[in-house]
Amino acid sequence: MSVTERAPVSPQTNFLGSGPYPEHKGRIVLWSVLIGFALTVIWSAPFVDSVIGDSVANTLLGHDAKATPIGGVLAGTFFAFVSGLAGTFTACNIAAFGAVAPLVGGGTAGRPKFAHTLKPLGWIAAGMLTVSVVYGVIVALVGTRMPQFSTASSPGGLTPRNIQSMIVYGVIGIVFIVLGLASVGLVRNPIAGLTRRFPPAPLVLMGALIGGFLIGRPFPLFRMMFRSAAESHNVFYGAAAFALQSVGNILVMALLFLVLTHGTGGRLQRWMLAKPTRIAVVTGAALLVAGTFTLLYWDLRVLGRTGVIWYPTIKW
Condensed to tens digits (0 to 9), the pLDDT of residues 227-253 reads 999 999 999 999 999 999 999 999 999
Return the pLDDT at 173: 97
Return the pLDDT at 102: 81
Instruction: Please give the model's pTM, rounded to 2 decimal places.
Output: 0.90
- Cα Rg of the chain, angstroms: 21
Return the pLDDT at 165: 93
Is residue 128 scored above 90 in pLDDT? yes
User: Half-sphere exposure (CA, 13 Å, Cβ side) for 152?
Assistant: 5
Is residue 151 scored above 70 in pLDDT? yes
Is residue 265 scored above 70 in pLDDT? yes
Q: By C-alpha distance, which of 29, 160, 172 is closest to 93?
A: 172
* Cβ within 8 Å of residue 295, ≥6 positions away: 169, 170, 173, 174, 176, 177
Taking the C-alpha atoms of residue 233 and residue 243, their distance in angstroms, rounded to an integer, is 16
Is residue 106 scored above 80 in pLDDT? no
Return the pLDDT at 15: 65
Is residue 286 scored above 50 in pLDDT? yes
pLDDT digits (tens, 9 = 90+) for 152-182: 776 667 888 889 999 999 999 999 999 999 9
Contact 167, 299 (CB under 8 A): no
pLDDT digits (tens, 9 = 90+) for 68-98: 999 889 999 999 999 999 999 999 898 999 8
Contact 306, 128 (CB under 8 A): no
Return the pLDDT at 108: 56
Q: By C-alpha distance, which of 245, 248, 250 is closest to 223?
A: 245
Q: Tell me which long-range contacts 191-200 makes (C-beta under 8 A, separation of at least 24).
A: 191/16, 192/16, 195/16, 195/17, 199/14, 199/17, 200/120, 200/123
pLDDT digits (tens, 9 = 90+) for 14-54: 566 656 788 889 999 999 999 999 999 999 998 998 889 99
- Chain-centre distance for alpha carbon 45: 17
Torsions phi, psi for 2 (to 5 deg)? -75, 165
For 30-71, what is the HEC assignment?
A: HHHHHHHHHHHHHCCHHHHHHHHHHHHHHHHHCCCCCCCCCC
B/e letters for 192-226, b = 16+ CB within 10 Å, e = fewer, are eeebeeeebbbbbbbbbbbbbbbbbbbbbbbebbb
Is residue 303 scored above 70 in pLDDT? yes
Is residue 141 scored above 90 in pLDDT? yes
On average, the pLDDT of the chain sits at 87
Is residue 11 scored above 70 in pLDDT? no
Diameter of the chain by CA atoms?
Answer: 75
Torsions phi, psi for 257 (to 5 deg)? -60, -45
